[in-house]
């Protein structure tokens, strides 16, 4: 009796599997989640694209940061040349941290 019950259960599972596979693909597509719409590009009151304005502002800020990065790097070079071989002032170490911070900020803007 256990053997016939196992066969009956397997046949029911098999028929359900076949029925699921034979289901109309169009019907399956109707149950999918809708695809989100592409982001709208809002316009500013002056008619310009909001995304373009943000990109322009970030570009200008990156240029300012890059200029400051060059200045700090030159100052660091000068301080290292003055410091000698063995002693480095704490201000010089802090300057390297500022340089790293600026570089990360610029990289973050470029990635976004």
Number of residues assigned to the chain? 112
Q: Is 95 exposed, middle or buried (0-12, 13-18, 19+ CB in 10 A)?
A: middle
pTM for the full predicted model? 0.56
* CB-facing half-sphere around the CA of 54: CA atoms within 13 A: 10
Q: Of 69, 71, 49, whose CA–CA distance to 61 is shortest? A: 69
Average pLDDT value for the chain: 80
Residue 96 has a pLDDT of: 94
Residue 46 has a pLDDT of: 78
Residue 66: other Cβ atoms inside 10 A:
13
What are the residue boundaries of the structural domains of the chain, listed by start? Answer: 52-112
Residues forming a β-bridge with 49 = 43
Which tops the pLDDT comparison, 50 or 66?
A: 66
Q: What is the pLDDT of residues 8-56, one digit of tens each?
A: 676 667 666 655 566 655 555 566 666 665 566 677 787 788 888 888 9
């Amino acid at each position: 009796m256990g053997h016939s019950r196992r066969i009956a259960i397997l046949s029911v599972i098999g028929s359900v599997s076949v029925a699921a596979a034979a289901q109309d693909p169009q019907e399956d597509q109707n149950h999918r989640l809708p695809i989100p719409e592409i982001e709208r590009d809002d316009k500013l009151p002056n008619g310009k694209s909001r995304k373009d304005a943000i990109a322009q502002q970030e570009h200008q800020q990156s240029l300012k940061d890059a200029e400051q990065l060059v200045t700090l790097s030159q100052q660091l070079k000068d301080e290292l040349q003055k410091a000698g071989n063995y002693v480095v002032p704490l201000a010089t170490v802090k300057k390297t941290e500022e340089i790293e911070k600026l570089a990360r900020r610029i990289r973050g803007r470029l990635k976004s």
